[in-house]
């Protein structure tokens, strides 16, 4: 990672924060692979993912964590399946599997120590589960472009890719609460900010992630979507995504899907709100903090949590990484 000239990162100190506050009974350390921070378990999946056989009929939903991925997944799956609301009652992790989730939640020790614990297949062996999907599949991944299957990186295969991005300040706050509630982070918000800015969180550095996909946005198989646009004009984004997927939706269908995708409906929908994972956390005491997967979903929510000093650090960091690009939120 190229560090901002406004930030001095002590990698040894940050690695110690990760070990102390972000290692638990389903996360056993971290590695850096081609410049990207990943859970140590990812080492076992890396080559398999690079050599993953890609089907061009599939749709890949790519994003940095906590940028509107679940929202986009549900929208895309519904459009692909002609607004099958009944079929949509099946858990989203089964309908739109998360390619590398087995690296995020490594349940092998928990399964050995609790013989009655059998996680669903899409959590237990996510690569196998994705490979067994019927085509066209709707695949989620948080991997940066350079860790995607070589079929995609090389252009040998060109499945449709929908990338969703969100303002980094809101992303950081949402990622912090998510990490406390679902991934076992026990440190402070200030330390989490330091990890975020230094690229020391899973799938980071953030700007490397976003800008590599932004560079691909003119390709015919790539659609770049911003979370803020979804919040401000969800029907318009639905129509844009439907067109990209070759689907025609009536005004009534757009209205029905917009209602289905409202924050309140998503938050109260057990098929998409990660209720199953939060219940697992409570049952096995996997995390110290328990909270909802979907918290507020607002634009600018960072203002209630970030100090002016942190906001200034983010703004300078953003300018450093985007100043020579045409990207902005």
DSSP string for 185-247: --S-HHHHHHHHHHT-STT--HHHHHHHHHTTTTSTTEEEEEHHHHHH-HHHHHHHHHHHTT-
pLDDT score, position 1: 39
Domain presence at residue 3:
no
Please check whether residue 287 is in contact with residue 183, taking contact to mean a CB–CB distance below 8 angstroms.
Answer: yes
Domain presence at residue 128:
yes
Q: How far apart are CA 93 and CA 95, in angstroms?
A: 6
Q: Which residue pairs, CB below 8 angstroms and at least 24 apart, start in 270-275?
A: 270/91, 271/88, 271/89, 271/90, 271/91, 271/92, 272/70, 272/73, 272/74, 272/92, 274/70, 274/182
Three-class SS of 264-328: HHHHCCCCCCCHHHHHHHHHCCCCCCCCCCCCCCCCCHHHHCCCHHHHHHHHHHHHHHHCCCCCC
- Would you tell me the crossing angle of helices 251-260 and 69-80 to the nearest 10 degrees? 140
| CA distances, 37 to each of 40, 102, 152, 202, 297 (Å) | 9, 16, 21, 5, 26
pLDDT score, position 10: 86
Enter the pTM of the model.
0.92
Q: How far apart are CA 6 and CA 191, in angstroms?
A: 17
Please check whether residue 254 is in contact with residue 245, taking contact to mean a CB–CB distance below 8 angstroms.
Answer: no
What digits encode the pLDDT tens for the residues 164-175? 999 999 999 999
Residue 142 designated active-site: yes
pLDDT score, position 46: 98
What digits encode the pLDDT tens for the residues 247-285? 999 999 999 999 999 988 998 888 886 666 666 666 666
CATH number at residue 38: 3.40.50.300
**37: phi then psi, degrees, rounded to nearest 5:** -75, 130
pLDDT score, position 3: 43
Domain presence at residue 200:
yes
C-alpha distance across the termini of the chain, in Å: 22
Half-sphere exposure of 43 (CA within 13 A, CB side): 9
Domain presence at residue 1:
no
pLDDT score, position 5: 44
Please check whether residue 14 is in contact with residue 22, taking contact to mean a CB–CB distance below 8 angstroms.
Answer: no
Residues in the chain where the model's pLDDT stays below 50: 1-6, 293
Domain of residue 293, residue span: 11-322
pLDDT score, position 119: 84
Domain count, the chain: 1
Domain presence at residue 329:
no
DSSP, collapsed to helix, strand or coil, labels residue 39 as strand
Domain presence at residue 327:
no
Taking CA 25 as the corner, what is the angle to CA 291 and CA 27, rounded to the nearest 5 degrees? Answer: 85
Please identify which of the residues 21, 46, 81, 142 carries the catalytic annotation: 142
pLDDT score, position 281: 64
Q: How far apart are CA 210 and CA 168, in angstroms?
A: 10
Continuous segment of H or E residues that includes residue 258: helix 251-260
Domain presence at residue 248:
yes
pLDDT score, position 270: 86
Q: How far apart are CA 68 and CA 249, in angstroms?
A: 22
Domain presence at residue 4:
no
Please check whether residue 212 is in contact with residue 144, taking contact to mean a CB–CB distance below 8 angstroms.
Answer: yes
């Amino acid at each position: 990672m190229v560090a901002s000239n406004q930030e001095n990162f002590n990698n040894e100190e940050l690695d110690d924060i990760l070990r102390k506050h972000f290692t638990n009974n389903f996360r056993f350390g971290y590695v850096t692979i081609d410049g990207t921070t990943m859970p140590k378990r990812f080492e076992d999946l890396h080559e398999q993912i690079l050599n993953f056989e890609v089907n061009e009929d599939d749709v890949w939903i790519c994003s940095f964590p906590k940028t509107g991925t679940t929202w986009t997944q549900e929208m895309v799956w519904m459009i692909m399946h002609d607004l099958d609301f009944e079929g949509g009652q099946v858990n989203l992790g089964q309908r739109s599997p998360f390619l590398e989730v087995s690296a995020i939640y490594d349940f092998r020790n928990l399964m050995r120590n609790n013989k009655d614990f059998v996680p669903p297949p899409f959590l237990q062996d996510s690569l196998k589960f994705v490979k067994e999907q019927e085509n066209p599949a709707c695949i989620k991944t948080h991997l940066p472009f350079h860790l995607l299957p070589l079929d995609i990186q090389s252009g040998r295969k060109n499945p449709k890719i929908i990338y969703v991005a969100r303002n980094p300040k809101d992303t950081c706050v949402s990622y912090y609460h998510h990490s406390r509630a679902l991934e076992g982070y026990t440190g402070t918000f200030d330390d989490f900010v330091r990890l975020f800015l230094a690229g020391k969180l899973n799938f980071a550095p953030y700007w490397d992630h976003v800008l590599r996909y932004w560079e691909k946005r003119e390709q015919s198989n790539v659609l770049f979507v911003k979370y803020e646009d979804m919040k401000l004009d969800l029907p318009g984004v639905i129509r844009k995504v439907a067109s990209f997927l070759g689907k025609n939706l009536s005004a009534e269908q757009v209205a029905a899907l917009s209602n289905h995708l409202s924050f309140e409906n998503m938050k109260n929908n057990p098929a998409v709100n990660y209720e199953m994972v939060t219940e697992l956390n409570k049952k096995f005491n996997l995390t110290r903090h328990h909270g909802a997967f979907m918290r507020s979903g607002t634009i600018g929510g960072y203002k209630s949590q970030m100090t002016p000093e942190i906001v200034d650090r983010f703004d300078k960091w953003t300018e450093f990484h985007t100043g020579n690009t045409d990207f902005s939120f």
